[in-house]
Structure 1
Amino acid sequence: MALVSPTPPAITAVHLRRRRRLSGEKFRRPPYASGEPLRALTRLGPLFWPWEKVKVGPHYVSPMGFGTWAWGNKLLWGYQEGMDGVLQETFNLALRNGINLFDTADSYGTGRLNGQSEKLLGKFIREYRGPNKTRENVVIATKFAAYPWRLTPGQFVRACKSSLDRMQLDQIGIGQLHWSTANYAPLQEKALWDGLVAMYEKGLVQAVGVSNYGPKQLAKIYDYLKSRGVPLCSAQVQFSLLSMGADQMELKSVCDSLGIRLIAYSPLGLGMLTGKYSVSNLPRGPRALLFRQILPGLDPLLNTLQDIAQRRGKTMSQIAINWCICKGAIPIPGVKTVEQAEENLGALGWRLSSDEILVLESVAKASPTKMIQNIFQTS
């Protein structure tokens, strides 16, 4: 179904105010030729209709989810417990705008705050004051770390029960293996696969997925789980205009052929595709080292993102996220403020044109620097 009308009507000031109120979009007028009326680049109404939800295993989820890596992470994202009120407002805003997929992990949270992301998600769901149906439709996708001491299926099942306790839930929407141990502990890998089977058979999770699996290893676990009567519903991987190399695109092809939904983490390249940073304006913390290596070669891609954003009346972040959606992935940008959530929501309700996608991908492929691949991703 087309998301943009072939002959969109001119927008009045009332329409603009209504659209901004519904989507949270910070609208900027694009540079149209003198005398040309402002045209609708996104539809009026909800950010997406119910029939536009994406099927992931037994679930129907919003075309974009939100990631919660920052919720509890002091080292990389500067989390402080005083932020919890803002995080709850951010969560509430997401739910009110139809977002129902939230990604987390049992390892999210540094030091004594280990598991904090899961705890906060559970708390925010319980305390949400909107309709019960909205709360009931939330799909939590949590990841279980392949720690070296998790050597048996039973230990993996216990990890799942611990996550349920932290969130105070009876069942997890999607239980995911956080990474594969095939490259360094292949014997442990089989035990973890059996752990996924066990938690699914016990009804602790409604569906299972994996994260950081390459195309070959993904096909192997798919076949194994299928032989045990367990469908593999999702594969989460770093996927963006900075992470669209041969392995990632092959993985996308494998997902498409097997009916596995690709979930794209870091769709903004940890913030490099937002246009908010430069070599002279680096983020604080460990990210600065990575940004210093990659940003100098990104000017052509960032300039292209900016050009399309200006023509569209969008932001660079919204263009980058929408590219993921157009590729058939579910992006899960991280959010920790209401402003970030509002901006990300502006990526919904419209689609890049095929020409815009081709231009973006051509420039991205020609970039001399790319995002460093996750060291845990297998072949």
Structure 2
Amino acid sequence: METRKLGNSELIVSSIGLGLMGMSPGLYGETNDEHSIHTIHRALELGVTLLDTADVYGNGHNEELLGQALKGRRDQAVIATKFAFGPNFQGINGHPDYVRKSVDDSLRRLGLEYIDLYYQRRVDPNVPIEDTVGAMAELVAAGKVRYLGLSEADASTIRRAHAIHPISALQTEYSLWSRDVEDDILPVVNELGITFVAYSPLSRGFITGELQKFEDFAANDIRRHLPRFQGENFQRNVELVNKIQDMAAEKNATASQLALAWVMANGALPIPGTKRVKYLEENAGAVELKLTTEDLARLELVNPKNAAHGGRY
């Protein structure tokens, strides 16, 4: 597994990470803790060290699951978790008191003494970012957190936050189908030395090619309610995936590997989520796929910016 240095930090992380959200119930269909822990262990064996969770995933379940998986393996992993949402993704809170409470709750569930990378998952419009990041900086001084991150923040907010305390990572959705960040966000994080961490780099599994009909989703799968996965949008997006698959096959790769290689070629660190070892191993293999300038130009023709049908939310 290739590694890279996380921005404005001393952390060395894998060039591709693992998103754990789907391992908790109520999000992407059925889950199995035993299988999920096996997947986490396999990730560490492969050198996939950046493990990404959040307090709101399963309302604490995800952090507890990761804590269980890390027993005796803490030194093999770089742990990223997040705060901001209340239970069931209701409300956003960036008040300093909430920051302090949230980190203690996360540390307890994880069973850890410190968190490597602590994100504000969404910016609270009612609390100055200086106040929130100021409280997060206190956590660094207290040894509870090593480095700080933001998620889904705009360019101005990133600059203001970074002026209070160095920001190491900015996490936002980025994939062949979600490229809004290219206009304003990527230039700013590159200027400030912040690593861009791409969540949903496979557009919530759509670009894998495994989803061919709406009926593939379990009744409790949140994708049933997202625009890209509904009606005419779904069928038109399947056609786009088929083109990606054709190009990937020519390179003896899968659609997932091609899409992840594209994200990495654009300087971002993808954290594709999966709860299955099969897909973890497939995704990790993307680091072996090096795209040429010609490959990138062809992908731009096959899947130009804004080609996907339907918004991401």
Give TM-score scaled by structure 1 length.
0.74
Deviates more, 1:52-61 or 1:351-360: 52-61
| Matching residue's letter, 2:253 | K
Choose the corresponding residue for 2:18, options 54, 58, 66: 66
Gaps of 5+ in 1: 1-46, 129-134, 375-379
Q: 1:218 to 1:362 in 2, by over 3 A?
A: farther
Counterpart Cα distance in 2 of 1:371 and 1:222 = 33
CA contact (8 A) 1:308 1:356 kept: no
In terms of mean alpha carbon deviation, does 191-200 or 253-262 score higher? Answer: 191-200
What runs of 5+ residues in structure 2 fail to find an aligned partner? none
Which of 65, 68, 82 lines up with 1:120 in the alignment?
A: 65
* 1-structure distance, mates of 2:294, 2:254: 18
In 2, Cα distance between the equivalents of 1:218 and 1:204? 22
Residue number among 196, 199, 212 corresponding to 2:152 in the alignment? 212
Q: Is 1:266 the counterpart of 2:200 in the alignment?
A: yes
Say if 2:169 and 2:195, in contact at 8 Å, map to a contact too: yes
- Aligned position for 2:112: 169
268, 274, 277: which one pairs with 1:329?
268
* 2:17 and 2:52 in contact (8 A); partners too: yes
Aligned counterparts, 1:163-312, within 5 A: 163-182=106-125, 185=126, 187=127, 189-223=129-163, 225=164, 230-245=165-180, 247-279=181-213, 281-284=215-218, 285-290=221-226, 291-293=229-231, 294-299=233-238, 301-312=240-251
State whether residues 318 and 343 of structure 1, in contact with CA within 8 Å, keep that contact through their aligned partners in structure 2.
Answer: yes
Correspondence for 1:43:
none
Give the residue type in structure 2 aligned to 1:92: H
Match of 1:359 among 294, 298, 310: 298
- Which runs of at least 4 in structure 1 moved beyond 6 Å after TM superposition? none
**What letter matches 2:224 in structure 1?**
A
Quote the Cα distance in structure 1 between the aligned partners of 2:71 and 2:265.
Answer: 33
Q: Partners of 1:119 and 1:251 in 2: how far apart?
A: 32
More deviation in 275-284 or 232-241? 275-284
How far, CA to CA, are the matches of 2:22 and 2:237 in structure 1?
Answer: 25
Q: Is the contact between residue 69 and residue 334 of structure 1 (CA under 8 Å) also seen in structure 2? A: yes
Which position in structure 2 is the counterpart of 1:136?
A: 75
Q: 2:154 touches 2:185 (CA, 8 Å); kept in 1?
A: yes
Instruction: State the SS of the aligned residue for 2:21.
Output: coil
How far the C-alpha of 1:311 sits from its partner, in A, is 1.0
Match of 2:100 among 146, 157, 167: 157
How much does 1:163 deviate?
Answer: 0.5
1:75 pairs, out of 18, 26, 29, with 26
CA RMSD of aligned residues (A): 2.1
2:17 and 2:48 in contact (8 A); partners too: yes
Separation of aligned partners in 1, 2:278 and 2:223 = 21
Question: What's the CA shift for 1:307?
Answer: 1.8
> What amino acid maps onto 1:234 in structure 2?
A
Which is higher, the Rg of structure 1 or of structure 2?
A: 1
- Distance, in Å, in 2 between the alignment partners of 1:106 and 1:199 is 16
Aligned length: 303
Q: Structure 2: how far apart are the matches of 1:99 and 1:253?
A: 27
Tell me how far 1:136 sits from its aligned partner.
0.8
